[in-house]
Structure 1
Amino acid sequence: MSIPVGEIEVPGRVRGLAEGDPLDAVWTNAIGGLTFRATGRTADSHGDRFLKWGPRHLETSMADEADRLAWAAPFIPVPEVLEHGSDATHEWLVTRALPGRSAVDPRWIADPETAVRAVGQGLRALHDALPVDGCPFDWGVPARIANARRRGVVVPATMHEAPPIDRLVVCHGDACVPNTLIDDAGAWVGHVDLGALGVADRWADLAVAAMSTEWNYGPGWADALVAAYGVEPDPVRAAYYRDLWNAT
C-alpha cells in the first residue's frame, strides 16, 4: 500500500457511495485497489468515512473484512461497517472513520520512536483482547498455504512446517504499521484493514509489524516494536514468518 501520487480518477461507484461528500484519495495498492476518505459535510451525511474499492481478489475480500470487523468490534476499536457490496469485477466497503491518524502520517514519520511504541502496544492490546475461543477465522500456516495454492502461488516445501506455536492469538493478519491509528498524544486508538484476521501464532503478526518498520521509518526500529509489544526477540519465529509473508 502507498499514498497516491498525482491526480486519481474516482470510480463511478465510489462517487455514488460518497453521496456528494468531498473525496480525498488516501491509499492505493498493488492490485489496483483505492481507498478514499469522504468528508461528511451535512447533518444528513454519515459523517467522515472511508470508501474502499478494488478488483475482486482471491487472497481476501471486502466481504471477508466486513465479517471480521463485525466480529472484532465488541472487543477492540475497529471501523464500523456502513455498507459493502460487489459486482462482477469489483467490490467495495464503506466504514465510519475512527479518530486518530495512521502510524505513517507525516506527523508520525517525523517521530518514529513514539509511533513504533504505539504500534507495538496496540498490537499487544489486540492480541490480548480478541478471544481465540469462538473465533471463526483461521490464519494459521496450513490455511495460508492453501490460500496461496488457490491463487497459483507455490510455497516452498521448506515453509510448510512452522516453528512450534509461541502463543496462539487472533492475529490482525496485516499488522504493517500503517494499519494502526494513533492519537495526537501518541497512543494507539484503533486498527484498520483486518481482511485477513484469524487465529495464528502471535509471531505471524509480530514479525510482519517489525519488518514493516524498516519500510516506513528506516532501519533500526524492529527491536523497539517487539520491546513495546512486551516480549523478547525470537529470531527463529521472526525469520520464518517474514519468509512466509513474502512467500504467500
Structure 2
Amino acid sequence: MPFELPRTITRFIGDAPLIADDVGESPCDVFSFTRGNDRFFLKTCAAIYAPTTYSVLREARVLQWVDGHLSVPEVAVIAQSADGEFMITRCVPGAPIQVRIDEPGTLSALFHEALRQLQSVPIAGCPFDSSVSQRLNELEYLLAHDLCAQEPEPHPWPDLNSPEQLLAHLHAARPKEDPVFSHGDLCDTNVFVDTQDRLHFIDLGRGGIADRWLDIAFAQRNLREDISEQSAQDFLDRLGEPDKPAKREFFEQLDELF
C-alpha cells in the first residue's frame, strides 16, 4: 500500500486482506477484498493526479451521477488525505465481456449494446467535461509533471517522434465534436456481462461529455487488436452510418500518452 489509509477506509476494510489487482495501466492502485459475502475494490490515487481523469474522487462522482442510467459499481466509501484520494466500490456482477473473445460476433454485439446504453444517458446537466479541450489540458498537465508515457508507440505514426510533437499534432487536428455521454475508456475489461446478458460498467474515471466517436474508436481498436481486422470492420459496418477514420485515429492518438 503506497499510502497510509484514512480511518474511514480502514474501518470499512477491517481485518480483510487486500489483494492487489494488476489489470490495466492506470497509475491508480487497486485492491480487492471480501467483507461478509460481498467483494469490494479499494482504488487509490496520489494527490498529484487530483486535477486529472485519474482522480479517484472524480470517478466516484461520475459513478454516483450516472447511477440510475447505467449499471455501475455502488460507491461505498470515499476519502481524501494529503497523500491522495480513496474510494471503495462494490463489485459488479458477471464477468468482463472479454470472456466472449472466442465469439467475435457476440463480443461485437455487446460493444454495440454498450454504446447504445452509454449514448442514451442524457447529457443535459451532466457536470463532467471530457471534451477534447479538457483532455488536451489534462495531457499538458501530465507532461508538465512528468506523469505520462514519454515515448509514443513508434509504429502507428512514425512522424510523431516525441510527446511534444504528438501534443502539437493533436491541437492542430482537433475535430468538431458530436457530444454524448462517453465512458472514456471503453474496452472489453471495463464492461461486464452477467448471466442474464445485462451489462455493467466499471472504470469510469474519464466518463463525461465527449465526442461519440471516442468510445467507438476504442471498441474498434479493441476488436482490431485482439481479434482481427475483419471483426473490427464488421463492428463498424453494423453502426449503420459512415465511418469516420480521421476521428478514430485522433482519439487513438489522444490516448497514446495516457
Whether these two folds match at TM > 0.5 is: yes
Match of 1:184 in 2: 195
Provide the aligned length of Structure 1 versus Structure 2.
231
Whichever residue aligns with residue 182 of structure 1, its letter is: V
Matched, 1:145 2:152: no
Could you say if the C-alpha distance between residues 220 and 172 of structure 1 is closer, same or farther in structure 2, counting changes exceeding 3 Å? same
CA distance, structure 2, for counterparts of residue 232 and residue 188 of structure 1: 28
Whichever residue aligns with residue 99 of structure 1, its letter is: P
C-alpha RMSD over aligned residues: 2.8
Decide which of 98, 103, 121 is 2:92's aligned counterpart.
98
Whichever residue aligns with residue 181 of structure 2, its letter is: V
CA distance, structure 2, for counterparts of residue 209 and residue 91 of structure 1: 29
Matched, 1:208 2:218: yes
Whichever residue aligns with residue 124 of structure 2, its letter is: D
Asked if structure 1 preserves the Cα contact closer than 8 Å seen for 2:77 and 2:88, the reply is: yes
Shift of 1:215: 4.5
Matched, 1:40 2:35: yes
Could you say if the C-alpha distance between residues 10 and 237 of structure 1 is closer, same or farther in structure 2, counting changes exceeding 3 Å? closer
Q: Which moved more, 1:24-33 or 1:85-94?
A: 24-33
Could you say if the C-alpha distance between residues 68 and 247 of structure 1 is closer, same or farther in structure 2, counting changes exceeding 3 Å? same
CA distance, structure 1, for counterparts of residue 31 and residue 225 of structure 2: 23
Whichever residue aligns with residue 55 of structure 1, its letter is: A
**In structure 2, the residue corresponding to 1:195 is in which secondary structure?**
coil
Shift of 1:82: 0.6
Alignment of 1:22-37 (within 5 A): 23-30=18-25, 32-37=27-32
| TM-superposition CA deviations, 1:91-131 (whole Å, max 9, x none) | 32111122111123xx3344343233212211221111x11
CA distance, structure 2, for counterparts of residue 11 and residue 108 of structure 1: 37
CA distance, structure 2, for counterparts of residue 230 and residue 98 of structure 1: 31
Match of 1:193 in 2: 203
CA distance, structure 2, for counterparts of residue 102 and residue 12 of structure 1: 31
Asked if structure 2 preserves the Cα contact closer than 8 Å seen for 1:115 and 1:182, the reply is: no
| TM-superposition CA deviations, 1:9-54 (whole Å, max 9, x none) | 7987487643234554433444553323323336xxxx22222234
Decide which of 58, 67, 71 is 1:73's aligned counterpart.
67
Decide which of 111, 123, 132 is 1:132's aligned counterpart.
123
Match of 1:116 in 2: 108
Match of 2:15 in 1: 20
The percentage of aligned residue pairs carrying the same residue is 27
Match of 1:164 in 2: 176
Normalising by structure 1, report the TM-score.
0.79
Asked if structure 1 preserves the Cα contact closer than 8 Å seen for 2:3 and 2:84, the reply is: no
Match of 1:52 in 2: 43
Matched, 1:240 2:250: yes
